[in-house]
Amino acid sequence: MQLVIYLLVLIAGMGLSVEAGLLGPLGANIGHFAATLSIFMIGSILLTLIMVLFTRPQLTLLFSQPKWLLTGGVLGPVYVVVLTIATPIVGLGITMTSVLLGQIAMSLVIDHFALLGTKKMAVDHYRILALIMIVIALWLLN
């Protein structure tokens, strides 16, 4: 089962690169914020259809959650706007490697301190080495 999860995450990561590649030209054609809005509108419509057809939505539970759990609603559009702006300027490889560097660095902090309700996983020399290798990859791509 864990292998299936790894494969799904790998495919999702590939999808993010495709999305970033699509957002650059879309943002140039219709504007960065309009491109971001269109991506989220299409995604919202698709998820609404999936929820209506395949699950029993319990949206009332959403508003009983701690409000800080909803901050992802702010982080997602910021991420997409930055991709839309950065990709045509620095290229897809550098953009996505920079995203990866930021994700891994913050993930190590979150894991190390068990923030946001995650399991505590201490940062060891292997994890630091992985982060350094991503920095080297970014430097090589420049």
User: Where do the domains of the chain lie?
Assistant: 2-141
| Residue 32 pLDDT level (bands cut at 50, 70, 90) | very high
Q: At what angle do helices 72-90 and 92-113 cross, to 10 degrees?
A: 150
Handedness of CA 130, 95, 2, 59 (dihedral sign): positive
The whole-number pLDDT of residue 5 equals: 95
Share of the chain above pLDDT 90, in %: 80
Q: What are phi and psi of 94, to 5 degrees?
A: -70, -40
Region 18-44: what's the mean pLDDT? 94
CA distances from 72 to 42, 53, 130 (A): 18, 25, 26
62 pLDDT higher than 90: no
Tell me 119's DSSP state.
P
61 CB-side CA count, 13 A: 3
Region 34-60: what's the mean pLDDT? 91
Return the number of other C-beta atoms located less than 10 Å from residue 12's C-beta. Answer: 9
d(CA 105, CA 118): 15
| Residue 42 pLDDT level (bands cut at 50, 70, 90) | very high
Share of the chain above pLDDT 70, in %: 100
The whole-number pLDDT of residue 58 equals: 81
The whole-number pLDDT of residue 125 equals: 96
| pTM listed for this prediction | 0.84
More confident residue, 56 or 45: 45
Token readout for 129 is 């080495």
CA distances from 12 to 6, 7, 111 (A): 10, 9, 21
The whole-number pLDDT of residue 113 equals: 96
Token readout for 72 is 């992802």
